[in-house]
Structure 1
């Protein structure tokens, strides 16, 4: 009996060691998943006033073993595997959304107060068009012709249409409205372009500034602000949204996202190759906000002047705005961003961007590009390639876009005076109908 007991104890110890080793081996992947869950649950509650992450954001592969809890007072959320392993906490801060950190962030600046006074669309009653062609285009964009499951997969949640500066039509899905902030994902990159433009207008930075990071004493010192904005810095990156990749590690594991991106080595000579990278834009924000207001800079320089009262650009634990991914705003506010750029950076009669900024910012990058980056410019997407060919024939050649994950888009058509903002949740539908709907709306409004 003593021998059997010794064997059993040894076996149990071996199993325990194996389980422990397996857990620590897989922990970076698990913490990525729990960080994703905690942040999403916190942001939906604190920013959008919604409480069902499964309905609002992409699926989490750890759902079967995940336990997520949102604080009853709205102060944050936590998530863990079985509620105890690989735990992550997200903390809500007024003006800055939710931040993943082991402790509540204390270094965020006092947020600039933002009101809707400067926004001509904020107080408008719901606008429904009496133009049958406009109504038909919106019906197509919302999938009225589809069955229940197909319409849910299309996932359109809000469309706002502006023509010659006037709000001419809008429509929202059940549970959403003009006042519901929605996550723009990579449309945040386009707003980052405007933030840089504000600083260029003020003489704070130049697009050709280099030696951006003190630790870059090698070839990386040649990287410029322009190259970070155009994603031609040459820094190593993998934008694949999967457990353990650089993009998910940056978003869900790194307290200082900018420093993490800056630590990457060079894969290409600066300026020679376009590598799509949310890390590039987040590092850009780290560079330009340092010493200029930090996480408050977007509020001070963009949200307040444009009257984007509901807009939030979330910050990481170091106080860097997560400019590659994490701006929330209502559909009307996203459309306001489109109108602002259509007016070449003039708002309320005041020039906020350098003259010609948008014409320069929407020229497609003329260099070797990775697949999937066709038409990428400086934080914006052009409908015309560097060689002059048109990408989407359904829209005029001068069209350009802010574009984000799961079907977020702001379509700007200068030649027609049209801006269309489409927000939704389209992770699986093969055709999100945005370009076709936009083409129909442009034609209807001529």
Structure 2
């Protein structure tokens, strides 16, 4: 009996060890070897890798990495860019700030339910004192400050630029200035420089390298592509790096990558969430049905920055995807369409059956001419039933059309519009220009 129990203990211990080692973590020395795994060994469709890289090259990509359970399965650099080149995160860096705020709360430097004025001083906005007092750190994390994002420069940090439009918590709007001021909150709460706090709480514990730089009003993080991948791996593993727990607060971690308010269901604490019933985008108050990246896994969450800086995480697939580079062809302050396109190409590499379905549908639906003056045509090769809504860039509804492929747009003013096309198979949103 004793031998049996001993053998059972050894088996269980071995299984536990294997399970614990499922996720690989590269050495803390960023110059050390990072283990790889071949696409062939995963059963991936290797013939689709080159089309993926060709697409990335056409879209002005500098560097691209895909991790599978922590190991590098795809890594590609373009032009003179190398694994040692430095690039900016843009708004993808908001995700680092989200981690740092959670860490500062865990260390009792602040509470996200503290009013922001506790660390920025009374009068940091142009609002009444009563309205300003309602703005909490939580609102800065969730883009619900109530401040007016429609001013000429919504990056401006001066109090005269921070004007109350409504009460905090009642409106979602992608607004950079309140986010950027989280740096001031962190610095005043921790009594440490933002780079010092980032270095001690994050970089040294994960092998990341990088620095925050102030550019105009913005605070921008710069690093190598692999450092962004390390950060994605950390968050995928619930802020545990190779048995070293960097953030213990499981409640905060859960809230960070789940719906944070009931307005934009696809936004957590500065993370973009996939697989939700609806989503919103910068500059608009429109709610679009479905996921912003239908080709990506439904559990994917992402840091998405200007010009297509991306760190995407899918816990269910063990995938971390990183892209750095210049402006892709699909524009936008938060280029969600580009994120979706990359996942579509990656699905082909991973031999995903959903790839074929979604690609065929997307290719079957198009708008032409674009730009147009008096009439546009909807080409739908799958089903002639459609519901079409046209909005201006402020989210104002302009036109609805049912089951028509030729649309008279002569009554619309010149400008850029969003066209949402809903068919029985899919819903897509595209930009269209009226001239």
Task: Indicate whether the TM-score tops 0.5.
Answer: yes
Q: CA deviation at 1:346?
A: 0.8
Q: CA RMSD in A?
A: 3.1
Distance 1:125 1:418, change over 3 A: closer
After the TM superposition, which residues 47-446 of structure 1 pair with which residues of structure 2 at under 5 Å, given as runs?
119=28, 122-124=31-33, 129=38, 131=40, 133=44, 135-143=46-54, 153-210=58-115, 211-212=117-118, 213-216=120-123, 217-238=129-150, 245-247=153-155, 250=156, 257=157, 260=158, 264-290=162-188, 291-295=190-194, 296-309=196-209, 311-315=210-214, 322-323=218-219, 326-353=220-247, 354-369=249-264, 375-385=266-276, 390-429=291-330, 432=338, 433-441=341-349, 443=351
User: Are the equivalent residues in 2 in contact too, given 1:362–1:378 (CA < 8 A)?
Assistant: yes
Distance 1:127 1:165, change over 3 A: closer
Distance 1:117 1:391, change over 3 A: closer
Distance 1:203 1:119, change over 3 A: same
Q: CA deviation at 1:272?
A: 0.7
Distance 1:246 1:425, change over 3 A: same
Distance 1:152 1:351, change over 3 A: closer
Q: CA deviation at 1:423?
A: 1.1
Q: CA deviation at 1:418?
A: 1.0
Distance 1:417 1:268, change over 3 A: same
Matched residues in 1 for 2:70 and 2:160: separation? Answer: 40
Matched residues in 2 for 1:328 and 1:400: separation? Answer: 21
Matched residues in 2 for 1:304 and 1:203: separation? Answer: 21
User: Are the equivalent residues in 2 in contact too, given 1:261–1:283 (CA < 8 A)?
Assistant: no
Larger helix fraction of residues:
1
Partner SS state of residue 218, structure 1: helix
User: Are the equivalent residues in 2 in contact too, given 1:361–1:379 (CA < 8 A)?
Assistant: yes
Partner SS state of residue 175, structure 1: coil
Range with greater deviation from structure 2 (349-358 or 174-183)? 349-358
The TM-score, its normalising length taken from structure 1, stands at 0.60
Matched residues in 2 for 1:411 and 1:203: separation? Answer: 30
Q: After superposition, give the CA deviation of every residue in 1:122-156 in whole Å (9 maximum; x if it has no partner).
A: 42269584538464454333326xxxxxx765112
Q: CA deviation at 1:268?
A: 1.4
Matched residues in 1 for 2:164 and 2:200: separation? Answer: 34
- Which 5+ residue runs of structure 1 have no aligned equivalent? 1-115, 145-150, 251-256
- Length, aligned pairs only: 300
Distance 1:127 1:181, change over 3 A: farther
Distance 1:300 1:137, change over 3 A: farther
The TM-score, its normalising length taken from structure 2, stands at 0.62
User: Are the equivalent residues in 1 in contact too, given 2:277–2:291 (CA < 8 A)?
Assistant: no
- Which 5+ residue runs of structure 2 have no aligned equivalent? 1-24, 124-128, 279-288, 332-336, 353-435
Matched residues in 2 for 1:273 and 1:155: separation? Answer: 35
Larger strand fraction of residues:
2
User: Are the equivalent residues in 1 in contact too, given 2:27–2:33 (CA < 8 A)?
Assistant: no
Partner SS state of residue 238, structure 2: coil
Matched residues in 2 for 1:188 and 1:376: separation? Answer: 15
User: Are the equivalent residues in 1 in contact too, given 2:212–2:221 (CA < 8 A)?
Assistant: yes
Q: After superposition, give the CA deviation of every residue in 1:282-308 in whole Å (9 maximum; x if it has no partner).
A: 111211221521232222222222221
User: Are the equivalent residues in 2 in contact too, given 1:142–1:155 (CA < 8 A)?
Assistant: no
Q: CA deviation at 1:246?
A: 3.2
